[in-house]
């Protein structure tokens, strides 16, 4: 159950941040007392509403685990990607602003970071002043936690940069490291309780964050290894890190790379020799022959993750290399599940050869040039140019140019 949704259901979404700041989750929620709610700053009338809802929740809850079940998780070793996010120039900001205003700024900043992190399924482990400590890979592990962390980092920088609170310009900077940690017992009590994570990784992420320039994401070698060519990087060489004797290799992540296929980005061009799969490849080649004869074919390859679907399509591509054909590739992304048109937007992005630093007008011109080959009427171009997606604009860099171009009056209608 999501606390935010639950509170929204009660019309009390204004307390979401207070709940999250105090690490109140679905598990601890039913245990809240009126005194706890008061400490959280919940008004009397709202406390009563929440207490009534909690009664209903407890009545509907499944029975507690049997006494034999372990109450505390054992300390466990696991791979974690740790992200450290900090607000650049916050000391100067706190000196310049009235404390109440500063608090408002920090709250908005925390909320922006927490929203982004949640959308990538990360966990905000702790707020430390203006620093935010985030885990990817705990409690829920994903095969692409390192990538999630970096995409979240880029999106945080964008989200924080777009905040407009008290007319101050905010800039985040981010350090990310991946490695083995020991997730241990719960330490602290009550709402201050947190899961201890011990190891070099959180320290390294914090140190890299301190070295990062404003609005940049700096990653350590463990993270870099898992990312392949999914992003473009600037090699920072070996950086001196307090507490670690030898220089630590570090990279700045510039942007998502233009590689269209995740398979290629992660595995590189050199494929291991194909083993087996003769039947599947034969079938595809036969279907291709039928398609060439004018009988259009669709083949769906489906199977468990990692079973070799992409490898089969790569093999087919190899076999067809000598033949004249047009290949169109559309890729879904686990980060854009709520954008049905994402594969098409992304394909157009590559086909039009947008550069990440192209100004909106240049992107619009490229798009018009691309679409003019199919000779659409002028009024059709805005339909294609208008982006369908807004959430991860900076992380994935959609062709948002057209919207701003239209706003700025560059549309010829
Ligand atoms: N028949 C094969 N011969 C050699 N290597 C293979 C074969 N099938 C798969 N592989 C290798 O195994 C790895 C996983 O395969 P692949 O990425 O194609 O799986 P997938 O089904 O596309 O996975 P996902 O569902 O994650 O997209 C790759 O490194 C791929 O090169
Ligand atoms: Mg695949």
**Mean pLDDT for the stretch of residues 166-184:** 90
What residue has token string 């201050």?
A: 192
Nearest to 146 by CA among 81, 200, 72, 84: 81
Q: How far is the CA of 306 from the centre of ligand 1 (A)?
A: 5
How confident is residue 185, by pLDDT bands cut at 50, 70 and 90?
low
* pLDDT reported for residue 410: 36
What residue has token string 């060489």?
A: 237
Write the pLDDT tens digit of every residue in 311-321. Answer: 999 899 889 98
Higher pLDDT, 199 or 204: 204
Q: What percent of the chain has pLDDT over 70?
A: 83
Of 122-126, 139-143, 395-399, the least confident: 395-399
- Atom of ligand 1 at shortest range from CA of 307: 21
Beta bridge partners of 164: none
* pLDDT reported for residue 411: 35
Q: Which residues surround ligand 2, an ion (CB under 5 A)?
A: 309-310
* pLDDT reported for residue 378: 66
Write the pLDDT tens digit of every residue in 392-405. Answer: 333 333 333 444 43
Contact 375, 131 (CB under 8 A): no
pTM more than 0.85: no
Contact 320, 288 (CB under 8 A): yes
Higher pLDDT, 130 or 197: 130
Higher pLDDT, 192 or 77: 77
Rounded Cα distance, 401 and 411, in Å: 11
Q: At residue 300, does pLDDT exceed 60?
A: yes
What interhelical angle do 309-320 and 278-292 show, nearest 10? 50
Write the pLDDT tens digit of every residue in 71-119. Answer: 345 678 889 999 999 998 888 888 888 888 888 899 999 999 999 999 8
**What's the mean per-residue pLDDT of the chain?**
82
Encode the chain in three state secondary structure.
CCHHHHHHHCCCHHHHHHHHHCCCCCCCHHHCCHHHHHHCCCCHHHHHHHHHHHHHHHHHCCCCCCCCCCCCCCCEEEEEEEEEEEECCHHHHHHHCCHHHHHHHHHHHHHHHHHHHHHCCCEEEEEECCEEEEEECCCCCCCCHHHHHHHHHHHHHHHHHCCCECCECCCEEEEEEEEEEEEEEEECCHHHCEEEEECHHHHHHHHHHHHCCCCCEEEEHHHHHHHCCCEEEEEEEEEEECCEEEEEEEEEEEEECCCCCHHHHHHCCCCCCCCCCHHHHHHHHHHHHHHHCCCCCCCCCCCCCCCCHHHHHHHHHHHHCCCCCCCCCCCCCHHHCCCCCHHHHHHHHHHCCCCCCCCHHHHHHHHHHHHHCCCCCHHHHHHHHCCCCCCCHHHHHCCCHHHHHHHCCCCCC
Q: Whose CA is nearest to atom 15 of ligand 1?
A: 308
* pLDDT reported for residue 271: 75
Q: What tokens appear for 410 in the block? A: 């560059």
Q: What tokens appear for 178 in the block? A: 């991946």
Q: How far is the CA of 285 from the centre of ligand 1 (A)?
A: 19
Rounded Cα distance, 155 and 234, in Å: 18
Please tell me the number of the ligand nearest to residue 275's CA: 1
How confident is residue 66, by pLDDT bands cut at 50, 70 and 90?
very low
Q: At residue 169, does pLDDT exceed 60?
A: yes
Q: How far is the CA of 119 from the centre of ligand 1 (A)?
A: 28
Q: Whose CA is nearest to atom 4 of ligand 1?
A: 274
Rounded Cα distance, 45 and 54, in Å: 14
**Which of 310, 317, 329 is the best mutation target for the ligand 1 pocket, counting ligand atoms within 8 Å of the beta carbon and taking the most?**
310
Q: Measured between alpha carbons, how far apart are the two ends of the chain, in Å?
A: 48
Write the pLDDT tens digit of every residue in 258-271. Answer: 766 777 787 776 77
Q: At residue 326, does pLDDT exceed 90?
A: no
Higher pLDDT, 140 or 270: 140
Q: How far is the CA of 304 from the centre of ligand 2 (A)?
A: 10
Q: What tokens appear for 128 in the block? A: 């430390």
* pLDDT reported for residue 413: 29
How confident is residue 379, by pLDDT bands cut at 50, 70 and 90?
low
**Which of 311, 315, 331, 333 is the best mutation target for the ligand 1 pocket, counting ligand atoms within 8 Å of the beta carbon and taking the most?**
311
* pLDDT reported for residue 3: 84
**Mean pLDDT for the stretch of residues 224-238:** 92
Higher pLDDT, 17 or 194: 17
Nearest to 156 by CA among 177, 140, 134: 134
Q: At residue 412, does pLDDT exceed 70?
A: no
Buried b (16+ CB within 10 A) or exposed e, 5-24: ebbeeeebeebbebbbbbbb
Q: At residue 164, does pLDDT exceed 80?
A: yes
What interhelical angle do 360-372 and 342-351 show, nearest 10? 90
What residue has token string 């000598």?
A: 322
* pLDDT reported for residue 65: 37
Q: Which residues line ligand 1 (CB under 6 A)?
A: 263, 267, 271-272, 274-277, 303, 305-311
Q: What tokens appear for 208 in the block? A: 């890299």
How confident is residue 232, by pLDDT bands cut at 50, 70 and 90?
very high
Rounded Cα distance, 181 and 198, in Å: 6
Write the pLDDT tens digit of every residue in 12-43. Answer: 988 988 988 888 888 888 888 899 999 899 99
Rounded Cα distance, 191 and 184, in Å: 17
**Mean pLDDT for the stretch of residues 221-250:** 90
* pLDDT reported for residue 67: 41
Nearest to 314 by CA among 374, 272, 253, 356: 272
In order of their start, the domains of the chain are 3-60 (1.10.150.50), 76-265 (3.30.70.1230), 271-319 (no CATH), 334-408 (no CATH)
* pLDDT reported for residue 227: 92
* pLDDT reported for residue 54: 86
What residue has token string 């390859």?
A: 301
* pLDDT reported for residue 316: 92
Q: How far is the CA of 127 from the centre of ligand 1 (A)?
A: 40
Q: What tokens appear for 86 in the block? A: 């900090």
Q: At residue 136, does pLDDT exceed 80?
A: yes
């Amino acid at each position: 159950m999501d606390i935010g949704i639950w509170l929204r259901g009660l019309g009390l979404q204004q307390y979401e941040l207070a709940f999250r700041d105090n690490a109140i989750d679905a598990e601890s929620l039913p245990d809240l007392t009126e005194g706890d709610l008061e400490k959280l700053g919940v008004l009397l009338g709202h406390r009563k509403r929440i207490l009534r809802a909690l009664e209903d929740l407890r009545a509907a809850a499944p029975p507690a685990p049997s006494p034999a079940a372990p109450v505390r998780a054992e300390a466990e070793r696991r791979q974690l990607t740790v992200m450290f996010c900090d607000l650049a120039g916050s000391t100067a900001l706190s000196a310049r602003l009235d404390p109440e205003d500063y608090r408002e700024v920090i709250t908005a900043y925390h909320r922006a970071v927490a929203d982004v992190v949640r959308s990538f399924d990360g966990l905000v482990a702790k707020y430390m002043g203006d620093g935010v400590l985030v885990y990817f890979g705990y409690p829920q592990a994903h095969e692409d936690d390192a990538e999630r962390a970096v995409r979240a980092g880029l999106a945080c920088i964008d989200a924080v940069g777009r905040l407009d609170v008290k007319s101050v310009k905010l800039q985040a900077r981010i350090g990310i490291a991946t490695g083995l940690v020991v997730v241990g017992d719960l330490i602290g009590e009550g709402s201050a309780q947190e899961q201890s994570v011990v190891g070099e990784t959180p320290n390294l992420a914090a140190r890299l964050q301190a070295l990062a320039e404003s609005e940049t994401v700096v990653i350590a070698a463990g993270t870099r290894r898992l990312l392949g060519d999914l992003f473009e990087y600037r090699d920072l060489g070996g950086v001196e890190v307090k507490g670690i004797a030898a220089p630590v290799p570090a990279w700045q992540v510039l942007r998502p790379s233009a590689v269209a296929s995740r398979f290629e980005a992660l595995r590189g061009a050199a494929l291991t020799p194909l083993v087996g799969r003769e039947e599947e490849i034969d079938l595809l080649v036969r279907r291709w022959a039928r398609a060439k004869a004018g009988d259009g074919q669709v083949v769906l390859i489906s199977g468990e993750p990692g079973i070799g679907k992409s490898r089969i399509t790569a093999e087919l591509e190899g076999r067809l290399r000598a033949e004249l054909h047009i290949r169109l590739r559309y890729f879904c992304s686990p980060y854009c599940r709520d954008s049905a048109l994402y594969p098409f937007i992304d394909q157009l992005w590559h086909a039009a050869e947008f550069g990440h630093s192209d100004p909106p007008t240049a992107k619009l011109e490229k798009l018009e040039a691309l679409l003019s080959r199919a000779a659409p009427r002028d009024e059709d171009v805005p339909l294609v140019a208008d982006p369908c997606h807004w959430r991860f604009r900076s992380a994935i860099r959609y062709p948002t140019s057209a919207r701003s171009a239209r706003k700025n009056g560059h549309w010829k209608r």
